[in-house]
């Protein structure tokens, strides 16, 4: 996983609520056994017309948003399926940070696990950031994770909250399996205690 420290980038405004994971990456593109290569299908139904050509009205098909690394939307971004293909598709497109008033829980988790920073901000702040983002290339945002601020084009700073453990993992680019395995002894102790207390819990063994 790539570290996330300071990101200065173009932000794409997508003023919609309830953008579901089927919209971010439709199910027919989930038949891959890899994590990479999904960027071309990100937002497929919004980005392409039925004949496969680009829809010029869609923000990510416009300059400078083709190179956007920040996406701003309204409430409940990433609702629906648990598919991690959604953050994989965003990441492969180039998105490293998503800003919205709220996120669906599983999508929020999946972002952190892939080096994408989800930032929850009040709806009116999202609206302001979207308006600034519409100014295009001269209107980049800087997201500073260590300081937990977004620096707006005029230099004003917007503070944000992030879970301390997740912040640390992002700053260092660490995956959490290694972290958890440092607690392996506690897991083993738990298993032994439980096997004694609830011996009826069956093991799944097929004939």
Position 96 contacts another protein (CB under 8 A)? no
Region binding another protein by CB under 8 A among candidate stretches 56-64, 79-87, 132-140, 147-155: 79-87
147 contacts: CB under 8 Å, gap ≥ 6 = none
Segment interacting with another protein, rule: CB under 8 A, options 53-61, 81-89, 133-141, 149-157:
81-89
Q: In terms of CB distance, is 49 or 67 closer to another protein?
A: 49
Query: Measured between alpha carbons, how far is residue 5 from residues 61, 116, 143, 168 in Å?
Result: 27, 11, 8, 10
Contact between 76 and another protein (CB under 8 A)?
A: yes
| Cβ closest to another protein, residue 14 vs residue 70 | 14
d(CA 72, CA 11) in angstroms, rounded, equals: 7
Residue 175 interacts with another protein (CB under 8 A)? yes
Does 3 interact with another protein (rule: CB under 8 A)?
A: no
Angstrom distances, CA of residue 177 to CA of 17, 36, 167, 180, 205 = 33, 21, 16, 5, 26
Contact flag: residue 195 with another protein (CB under 8 A): no
Is the backbone of residue 18 left (phi > 0), alpha (psi -120 to 50) or beta?
Answer: left
- Cβ pair 4, 115 in contact under 8 A: yes
State which residue, 28 or 159, has the beta carbon closest to another protein. Answer: 28
C-alpha to C-alpha distance for 116 and 108, rounded to whole angstroms: 9
* Residue placing its CB nearer to another protein in the complex, 75 or 144: 75
Using CB under 8 A as the binding criterion, the count of chain residues that bind another protein stands at 60
Choose between 173 and 190: whose C-beta lies nearer to another protein: 190
At residue 161, what are phi and psi to the nearest 5 degrees? Answer: -100, 145
Question: Rounded to an integer, what distance in angstroms lies between the CA atom of residue 88 and that of residue 106?
Answer: 14
> Which of 55, 109, 139, 142 forms a contact with another protein (CB under 8 A)?
109
Query: Strand 6-9 and strand 141-144: pairing?
Result: antiparallel
Q: Please tell me whether residue 57 binds another protein under the rule CB under 8 A.
A: no
Site residues for another protein per CB under 8 A: 15-18, 20, 22-23, 26-28, 30-35, 45, 50, 74-76, 79-84, 87, 102, 104-106, 109-110, 113-114, 163-165, 175-177, 180-181, 183-184, 186-187, 190-191, 194, 198-206
């Amino acid at each position: 996983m790539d570290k996330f420290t300071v990101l200065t980038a173009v932000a794409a405004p997508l003023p919609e609520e309830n953008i579901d994971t089927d919209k971010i990456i439709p199910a027919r593109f989930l038949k891959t056994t890899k994590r990479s290569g999904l960027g071309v299908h990100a937002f497929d139904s919004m980005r392409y017309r039925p004949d496969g050509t680009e829809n010029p009205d869609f923000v990510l098909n416009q300059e400078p948003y083709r190179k956007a690394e920040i996406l701003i939307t309204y409430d409940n971004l990433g609702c629906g399926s648990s598919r991690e293909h959604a953050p994989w598709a965003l990441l492969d497109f180039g998105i490293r940070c998503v800003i919205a008033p709220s996120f669906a829980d599983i999508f929020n988790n999946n972002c952190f696990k892939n080096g994408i920073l989800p930032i929850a901000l009040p709806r009116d702040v999202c609206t302001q950031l979207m308006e600034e983002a519409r100014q295009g290339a001269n209107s980049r945002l800087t997201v500073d994770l260590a300081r937990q601020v977004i620096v707006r084009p005029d230099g004003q700073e917007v503070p944000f909250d992030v879970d301390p453990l997740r912040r640390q993992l992002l700053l260092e680019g660490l995956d959490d399996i290694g972290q958890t395995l440092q607690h392996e002894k506690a897991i083993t102790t738990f298993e032994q205690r439980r096997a004694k207390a609830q011996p009826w819990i069956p093991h799944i063994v097929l004939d």
